[in-house]
Structure 1
Amino acid sequence: MEVKIGVQHAPREIVLESGQSAEEVERAVSEALAGKSPLLTLVDEHGRKVLVPADRLAYIEIGEPAPRKVGFGAL
């Protein structure tokens, strides 16, 4: 699932492919914005962690899970 994170005072957004479900990402964002955690922590498909200070979040865009495309006919 593609997740886009807008950070205040940063010219570019952070884009990552996460293996987490939309509900897990939404729960992590909600906890960070509620002050339960000072950092938004997400894990990408390769196991790398992305940490963003909760007070610097501008927006989060959670994409639809996309099926993997396989073969020569997949464009």
Structure 2
Amino acid sequence: MDVEFGIRDIERPVQFSTDQSVDEVSQAVTNAITAGQPVTLTDSKGRRIIVPANALGYAVIGSETKHAVGFGAL
């Protein structure tokens, strides 16, 4: 699934893919904002993404990433 975080005062968003579900990512972001703690997620390559909750401008939590195979038909 694709995730995009907008960070305050930073021009470019942080974009990554994760194996976590939409509900897991949404819950992690909501809990972090509520508790004033950093948002901590793991991307699909095993790297940790840590963003201070007070620096988070927005979060776009996408649907599951599906890779097309072949040439597609009409």
TM-score (norm 1): 0.87
Mind listing any 5+ residue stretches in structure 2 that lack a counterpart?
A: none
Find the counterpart in structure 2 of residue 57 from structure 1: 56
Question: Residue deviations 1:35-65, cap 9 Å, x none?
Answer: 1x52101111111010000111000001111
Find the counterpart in structure 2 of residue 19 from structure 1: 19
- The 3-state SS of whatever aligns with 1:12 is coil
Count of equivalent residues: 72
Distance 1:66 1:54 in 2: 25
- The 3-state SS of whatever aligns with 1:33 is helix
Mind listing any 5+ residue stretches in structure 1 that lack a counterpart?
A: none
Q: Is 1:43 the counterpart of 2:42 in the alignment?
A: yes
Q: Is 1:7 the counterpart of 2:21 in the alignment?
A: no
Distance 1:58 1:23 in 2: 20
Distance 2:16 2:67 in 1: 16
The AA in structure 2 aligned to 1:22 is V
- The 3-state SS of whatever aligns with 1:34 is helix
TM-score (norm 2): 0.88
